[in-house]
Amino acid sequence: METVAKLNGDVKDIALADDGKRKIQWANQHMPVLQLIRKQFIKDQPLKGIRVSACLHVTSETANLVITLRDGGADVVLCASNPLSTQDDVASSLVRDYNIPTYAIKGEDNATYYSHISAALDHKPQITMDDGADLVTQLLTKRTDLLSGVIGGTEETTTGVIRLRAMAKDGTLKFPIIAVNDALTKHFFDNRYGTGQSTLDGVIRATNLLLAGLKVVIAGYGWCGRGVAMRAKGHGADVIITEIDPVKGIEAVMDGFRVLQMADAAKEGDVFITVTGNKNVIRSEHFEHMKSGAVVCNSGHFNVEIDIPALEKLSSGKREVRPLVDEYLLKDGRRINLIGEGRLVNLASAEGHPASVMDMSFANQALSAEYLVKNSKDLKAQVYVVPEHLDKEIARLKLESMGHKLDKLTAEQEHYLSSWQEGT
């Protein structure tokens, strides 16, 4: 393994950069909205001289985001937001071909993961970009010396937004955050269609299972869960949902799925996918009833949705049966397969979301960074949503790039919709 400290980063092997460059270029072709923003950024330089530390999944799509920020004038560094989600070739290309310091190695241990976050913080960010709030958490707890220089930050995912809102509530948050996840052009599409497709892609690449005819248990029927369920149904799976929210539960039922408690679903399922953002959703009492050969994985942000220590306790040993698939041999003779150490299966065993959907998520990131620079003086240490006009503009550009056209309101219709006297 060649360490590339001299190139200002820490990646697995710089010789992988050619492959990474091809991947970055391929993703770029499928990110037309980000391309438009990049063109504008090159012209306007809205981030000129702004130091950005980004802690995101290091994929070919993220590469295009950080290149866009750099082209907008930012001085940007990148580190991984998950130890297993890095594409090593992309990380190498960012360092070698784009001169963007990148600290990320797929499979890095916890200590390296945090040392990489620390390296990104050494950059003294004025803007933070997070996926899961690990960077901001480190900054607020271990690197408070940097606080005075921070203008604000952005957050990519549901779990990160939940953590940051909790920080804002108890006064721990010290600068404004834009919740990119909460933009409609983010979670409607990225969480639903992106996670839906890429999660199944991860399960299939890891196991090569035929989903048709299998019982697939999905924990959580939020934005991600709906997407995974919809796609699993399309594969011919018999989908079972577990939920704790009655509205989501009834929605799942009316979408045509059975809703069971995990205690019962555990006995039936062939494949289990957690996407709740919660912890210990599958635990000892559930493993105890699973069929031998069951496959278990997680697509929620943290690797806490499956109680892996409990699975270990029930087991007499484990072996890797396929890349990133651990078969646990239970003391009673059953076998349970865990994909990707319970980390995001779509990033560990596949390539994460397709570029076309990250196009909108990262358009939100880029425009939110610009918004922070322009408006930081008026923002408090709170979590803000992406301004509606930016959200709508991203949707408009995406539709246009896909060759679709919207109707326009006539003057008469506009009047009708805005007037209470009409319509009688």
Ligand X SMILES: NC(=O)c1ccc[n+]([C@@H]2O[C@H](COP(=O)([O-])OP(=O)(O)OC[C@H]3O[C@@H](n4cnc5c(N)ncnc54)[C@H](O)[C@@H]3O)[C@@H](O)[C@H]2O)c1
Q: Is 242 in the site for ligand X (CB under 6 A)?
A: yes
- Rule CB under 6 A: is residue 195 a binding residue for ligand X? yes
E strand segments, 150-257: 152-155, 177-179, 215-219, 238-242
Binding flag, residue 202, ligand X (CB under 6 A): no
Least separation in angstroms between CB 275 and ligand X: 5
Q: Please give the angle made by the CA atoms of 40, 179 and 30, to the nearest 5 degrees.
A: 45
In terms of Cα–Cα distance, which of 260, 205, 206, 252 is closest to 233? 252
346 binds ligand X (CB under 6 A): yes
Give the range of 1-9, 103-111, 144-152, 297-305 binding ligand X by CB under 6 A: 297-305
Q: Which residues have CB under 8 Å from 66's CB, separation 6+?
A: 54, 76, 78, 94, 98, 100
8-state DSSP, 187: I
Phi, psi of 96 (to 5 degrees): -80, -45
Name which of 9 and 269 has its Cβ closer to ligand X: 269
Nearer to ligand X, 359 or 370 (CB): 359
Joined together, the tokens standing for residue 375 give 């408006």
- Write out the binding residues for ligand X, residues 208-237 only, by CB under 6 A: 219-225
Select 219 or 372, whichever has its Cβ closest to ligand X: 219
Residue 384 within binding range of ligand X, rule CB under 6 A: no
Q: Is 344 in the site for ligand X (CB under 6 A)?
A: yes
- From the list 71-79, 113-121, 156-164, 416-424, the region that binds ligand X by CB under 6 A is 156-164
The Cα–Cα gap between 364 and 187 comes to 11
Rg of the chain taking only CA atoms, in angstroms: 22
Is 17 among the residues that bind ligand X (CB under 6 A)? no
Does 281 participate in binding ligand X (rule CB under 6 A)? Answer: yes
Q: Which of residues 354-373 bind ligand X (CB under 6 A)?
A: none
User: Which amino acid appears at position 36 of this protein?
Assistant: L
Contact flag: residue 20 with ligand X (CB under 6 A):
no
Is residue 31 near ligand X by the rule CB under 6 A?
A: no
* Residues near 76 by beta carbon (within 8 Å), at least 6 away in sequence: 51, 52, 53, 54, 66, 69, 70, 100
350 lines the binding site for ligand X (CB under 6 A): no
- Judged by beta carbon, residue 324 or residue 373, the one nearer ligand X is 324
**H/E element holding 183?**
none
| By the rule CB under 6 A, 301 interacts with ligand X | yes
Question: Around 234, how many Cα atoms within 13 Å sit in the side-chain half-sphere?
Answer: 10
Separate counts of helices (H) and strands (E) for the chain: 18, 15
Q: Which stretch binds ligand X (CB under 6 A): 69-77, 139-147, 230-238, 272-280?
A: 272-280
Choice between 38 and 192, CB closer to ligand X? 192
Burial string for 27-57 (b: 16+ CB within 10 Å, else e) reads bbebbbbbbbbbebbeeeebbeebbbbbbbb
Please name which of 307, 52, 322 lies closest in space to residue 204, comparing C-alpha atoms: 322
With contacts defined by CB under 6 A, name the span among 67-75, 153-161, 309-317, 378-386 that binds ligand X.
Answer: 153-161
Residue of 300, 340, 342, 354 interacting with ligand X (CB under 6 A): 300
Give the tokens for residue 147: 């606080």
Closest CB to ligand X among 41 and 272?
A: 272
Residues that bind ligand X (CB under 6 A): 157-159, 187, 191, 195, 219-225, 242-245, 248, 275-278, 281, 299-301, 344, 346
